[in-house]
Structure 1
Amino acid sequence: MGAPVVVVGDALLDADLRGRAGRLAPDAPVPVVDRISEVLRPGGAALAAALAAADGHDVVLVSAVVADEDGQRLADLVAGSGVRLVPVPRVGSTPIKRRVLAGGQPVVRLDSGTDGRIGELPDEVGLALAGAGAVLVSDYGRGLVEVPAVRAALERAAIRAPLVWDPHPCGPAPVAGARVVTPNAAEAAALVPEPTGESLAAVAARAAVLVARWRAHAVAVTLGSRGALLSQGGSSPSVIPAPPVRAADPCGAGDRFAAAVAGALASGAVTLEAVHAAVAAASAYVAAGGAAGLAREDRPAPGEPADPVERVRAAGGTVVATGGCFDLIHAGHVATLEAARSLGDCLVVCLNSDDSVRRLKGPQRPLVPAVDRARVLGALAPVDAVVVFEEDTPVEVLRRIRPDVWAKGGDYAGAELPEAALLREWGGQSVVLPYLDGRSTTGLVSAAAERSPLRPAP
């Protein structure tokens, strides 16, 4: 493990009050949320630090901490996430962000906490910044990064190590020399009102202005589902698109993005590589349920499509799954996927790994590696999630997902699907879908070989 990622900023205590809303109040048209349970997690800069630690980095968090009961709970959560806390003393009360969620959907947010005077910086702050592999400033507008001694220490750090600054509308401008500043589109528009609009041209113009204004090496404007725009001040910025994600709760996506940028830079990536990695990380984070997904004690194994399945189940919907090799995706595949998705409220594709395909199809297959097959499938409109499995059959992944419907296309008509008995264990149903005749990967390969100019003459 290399030099640590040092996160400097405002740590919050986040509380999700999760319940069920099945009716409206008799005295007002508002939902009644009952069966409430409270889940605590680190928030603000503490969330960014926890996410960087989850990526495998050694992480130090420098934050103002109030010596009250909630401050101790926050410190315990930080320690539990594998982050070393360097506390800066502060008077007041710990900032708490409480969200009320019904069926996984945020209903209202309740903020509390007061910001009092920040005490003297301990010597550990300077030592941590001097040894940082990268620095992430996670500003939540509560005053820590405005303290002159903190700002001076960050200015020195920006000379020695890549510094990422995640700004806040109520906070100060970044220190000069930041490697990447990461405002979202709304923050950039508030800072640079002209030109107006949300077009890429308008975002690019704002980003170029901010690069010059902040004397930063680069500005990465996050664009939500559109990905991010990276500008180094020139007229042709880079746009990194985000993969399609179906999600209802993007809370913490900005922290995930900034933490991934800092972690990648600490590992030696160049700026464009770091932003590419951050877009992918933020998209995966949102797809997995966002900050609420992190707090689940029953988090699934990596790659398991928890969020679409959980969201649909919470709403009483139908989960559909299908599976196959999907090597050289063709019109027959698309027809099967469209038909399967029409049977429910989300579709999970169980995808054979490369080794699994070789065992089933022979040593010359697959033609397309699993990572690319999964990416193409995930971009198709009917598909909500893709899970790669290593076995010859998807039995184990089906046991984890427990779909309501297992759908297969092909020539199974009149015969029981091999997975039918498994589906009956939890009351699921296996079905056969019509197959689009004349479309197959084998046929495509044969046709390509017939037309190849390198094919030997008869």
Structure 2
Amino acid sequence: MTAPAPLLVVGDALLDHDLTGRAERLAPDAPVPVVSGVRRATRPGGAALAAFLAAADGREVTLVTALGDDPASDTLRELLAGRVRRVELPLTGALSSKTRVLAEGTPLLRLDDGDGRAGSATDEGRRAVADAGAVLVADYGRGTAGVLREALAGAAAHVPVVWDPHPRGEPPVPGVRVATPSATEARTFASRLGGGDEPQEGSGLRTAARDADTLVHAWRAACVTVTLGGRGALLSHGGTPLMVPSPVTAEGDACGAGDRFAATAAGLLADGELTETAVRGAVHAATRYVAEGGVRSLGTETGTAEEPRPAAGREPTGDALRTATRVRAAGGTVVAAGGCFDLLHAGHVALLQAARRTGDCLIVCVNSDASVRRRKGDGRPLVPEADRIRVLRALECVDAVAVFDEDTPERLLGELRPHIWAKGGDYALAELPEASLVASWGGQVVLFPYLDGRSTTGIAERAALGPRPQNLARTGSNGRR
């Protein structure tokens, strides 16, 4: 399987803290909540969060950002060590950090500290931009994109550049492939250009479409994608926009969802995907991110921001292992289903939908191309691995996809350790070598009814025969009725 393409992230790194506890009473000396049982988590923020998320997708990521000699900069270096390569610009002042105080997951207060800004560009930073095959710019208004603006303008003329703008930052350079403001940010930028009133809550799709059209032309961007929270995103090349809805309604902490969206879109463009495909993938990734806990799933109470790592061997595709770990940690039920899924048909979809309804997430384990060839013969798979994965990920009932090279998925199952292993009813338990493995950790194999008459082989055979002429269907071989 082809490795994800490298990605360069340019922008303002931040350091984020969360203080989370319970608020069960008001203070006796002021009408403010008392937060007790506080747990502290520290994680990368801003452009550093976007880089961290892109690296979690299995990419080689380089972050060009400004860091200094202050404690916050040192902490961020530790969080990124071994995950993201850094190209550091000089920072004047202390690294900006923000602290959120939350009670039962609800933000009560935010404290901002540090006013550091990028001092100047460096030759190493300019070279990193010039050599990049794809660039994500996360401009939080602290100068990194500004000091490298000329280099970024040059890159936008040759490679995909995704620009995630924020109101304190500068407009994107001309020629970016995708700009990704939120609806509120798009309203702010458009109003500065004389595009209507100041931002209004709940301004609707019509306003978002109008703002996107305004910004496409003003910024000379190939397209502007306005993110709409839980509704999805609106993609505009100028004129009639394309609505890309969220696959499901995800409720939770949306902090960092914009970074997840931009990092995914930039990564998919780096892989050579079309803009529409990249935006669709980004909407799905941001939805999963919120559903799985958002930024709270990245940091730890000790502040090390450790990500779960798989056992030796191939890492599960995408975020399959992280999905299983988070759902299990939250007390949910992890469901997995496996197969070749060559020529996805109604029988496959019925099985996957039924499996998803039995738990809190569904991870699909897919045979690699080599594995399918060994099992099915040299003529298979009919659909290559990358396309099979893409189709499966597009299903609303599928939360993650993982690939295995072996003939059977025992190794991958040993990493995921699902509570339920779902198979079609055309299997018998005696035929499943993985049944005893699943039982070893207390899991359960479950068979689901299989739709009669649906099979990849049958579809392929009918396609090879071609359509049957109606006149021959009603006559014998000599042409008589």
1:206 and 2:211 equivalent? yes
Residue by residue, what CA displacement relative to the aligned partner does 1:25-55 show, whole Å, maximum 9, x if unpaired?
4889x99985x75442221133234456673
Q: Corresponding residue for 1:140?
A: 140
Q: Corresponding residue for 2:281?
A: 280
* Residues in 1 aligned to 2:122 and 2:73: alpha-carbon distance in whole angstroms: 19
* Residues in 2 aligned to 1:414 and 1:214: alpha-carbon distance in whole angstroms: 60
Q: Decide whether the 8 Å contact of 1:16 with 1:40 is kept in 2.
A: yes
Give the TM-score of the pair, scaled to structure 1.
Answer: 0.75
Q: Corresponding residue for 1:312?
A: 327
* Residues in 1 aligned to 2:128 and 2:342: alpha-carbon distance in whole angstroms: 48
Q: How do 1:340-359 residues align onto structure 2 when only pairs under 5 Å count?
A: 340-359=355-374
Q: Decide whether the 8 Å contact of 2:230 with 2:287 is kept in 1.
A: no
* Residues in 1 aligned to 2:65 and 2:87: alpha-carbon distance in whole angstroms: 6
Q: Corresponding residue for 1:298?
A: 308
1:425 Cα deviation (Å)? 0.8
Q: Decide whether the 8 Å contact of 1:257 with 1:281 is kept in 2.
A: yes
Q: Corresponding residue for 2:155?
A: 161
Secondary structure of 1:343's partner? coil
* Residues in 2 aligned to 1:363 and 1:396: alpha-carbon distance in whole angstroms: 24
Q: Corresponding residue for 2:224?
A: 219
Q: Decide whether the 8 Å contact of 1:229 with 1:240 is kept in 2.
A: yes
1:41 and 2:47 equivalent? no
Q: Alpha carbons of 1:330 and 1:68: their partners in 2 closer, same or farther (altered >3 Å)?
A: closer
Q: Decide whether the 8 Å contact of 1:321 with 1:347 is kept in 2.
A: yes
Q: Decide whether the 8 Å contact of 2:248 with 2:287 is kept in 1.
A: no
Secondary structure of 2:225's partner? strand
* Residues in 2 aligned to 1:261 and 1:360: alpha-carbon distance in whole angstroms: 35
1:98 Cα deviation (Å)? 3.8
1:291 Cα deviation (Å)? 4.2
1:389 and 2:391 equivalent? no
* Residues in 2 aligned to 1:165 and 1:315: alpha-carbon distance in whole angstroms: 34
Q: How do 1:406-445 residues align onto structure 2 when only pairs under 5 Å count?
A: 406-412=421-427, 415=430, 417-445=432-460
Amino acid at match of 2:140: Y
Q: Decide whether the 8 Å contact of 1:411 with 1:435 is kept in 2.
A: yes
* Residues in 2 aligned to 1:53 and 1:424: alpha-carbon distance in whole angstroms: 34
Residues matched between the structures, number: 432
Q: Alpha carbons of 1:438 and 1:313: their partners in 2 closer, same or farther (altered >3 Å)?
A: same
Q: Corresponding residue for 2:418?
A: 403
Q: Corresponding residue for 2:87?
A: 84
Give the TM-score of the pair, scaled to structure 2.
Answer: 0.72
Amino acid at match of 1:210: L
Q: Decide whether the 8 Å contact of 2:227 with 2:234 is kept in 1.
A: yes
1:174 and 2:147 equivalent? no
Q: Alpha carbons of 1:16 and 1:401: their partners in 2 closer, same or farther (altered >3 Å)?
A: farther
* Residues in 2 aligned to 1:6 and 1:310: alpha-carbon distance in whole angstroms: 27
Secondary structure of 1:422's partner? helix
1:185 Cα deviation (Å)? 2.0
Amino acid at match of 2:79: L
Q: Corresponding residue for 2:16?
A: 14
* Residues in 1 aligned to 2:164 and 2:123: alpha-carbon distance in whole angstroms: 20
* Residues in 1 aligned to 2:391 and 2:345: alpha-carbon distance in whole angstroms: 11
Could you tell me which runs of 5 or more consecutive residues in structure 2 were left unpaired when the two chains were aligned: 28-32, 299-304
* Residues in 2 aligned to 1:131 and 1:59: alpha-carbon distance in whole angstroms: 9
Q: Alpha carbons of 1:343 and 1:113: their partners in 2 closer, same or farther (altered >3 Å)?
A: closer
Q: Alpha carbons of 1:430 and 1:281: their partners in 2 closer, same or farther (altered >3 Å)?
A: same
Q: Decide whether the 8 Å contact of 2:308 with 2:322 is kept in 1.
A: no
Q: How do 1:49-64 residues align onto structure 2 when only pairs under 5 Å count?
A: 49-51=51-53, 55-62=59-66
* Residues in 2 aligned to 1:357 and 1:8: alpha-carbon distance in whole angstroms: 43
Residue by residue, what CA displacement relative to the aligned partner does 1:122-180 show, whole Å, maximum 9, x if unpaired?
5x447734763377653335x547xxxx85x45544543327543324x1552663635
* Residues in 1 aligned to 2:402 and 2:250: alpha-carbon distance in whole angstroms: 16
Q: Decide whether the 8 Å contact of 2:15 with 2:97 is kept in 1.
A: yes
Amino acid at match of 1:188: A
Q: Alpha carbons of 1:101 and 1:137: their partners in 2 closer, same or farther (altered >3 Å)?
A: farther
Secondary structure of 1:14's partner? strand
Q: Decide whether the 8 Å contact of 2:264 with 2:285 is kept in 1.
A: no
Q: How do 1:237-386 residues align onto structure 2 when only pairs under 5 Å count?
A: 237=241, 248-259=252-263, 273=274, 276-277=277-278, 280=281, 283-284=284-285, 287=288, 289=292, 290-294=294-298, 295-300=305-310, 301-303=315-317, 305-386=320-401
Q: Decide whether the 8 Å contact of 1:256 with 1:285 is kept in 2.
A: yes
Q: Decide whether the 8 Å contact of 1:250 with 1:286 is kept in 2.
A: no
1:4 Cα deviation (Å)? 9.2
* Residues in 2 aligned to 1:3 and 1:384: alpha-carbon distance in whole angstroms: 24
* Residues in 2 aligned to 1:231 and 1:374: alpha-carbon distance in whole angstroms: 27
* Residues in 1 aligned to 2:321 and 2:6: alpha-carbon distance in whole angstroms: 33
Q: Decide whether the 8 Å contact of 1:287 with 1:307 is kept in 2.
A: no
Q: Decide whether the 8 Å contact of 2:212 with 2:226 is kept in 1.
A: yes
* Residues in 2 aligned to 1:320 and 1:136: alpha-carbon distance in whole angstroms: 34
Among all aligned residue pairs of Structure 1 and Structure 2, give the percentage whose two residues are the same amino acid.
Answer: 47
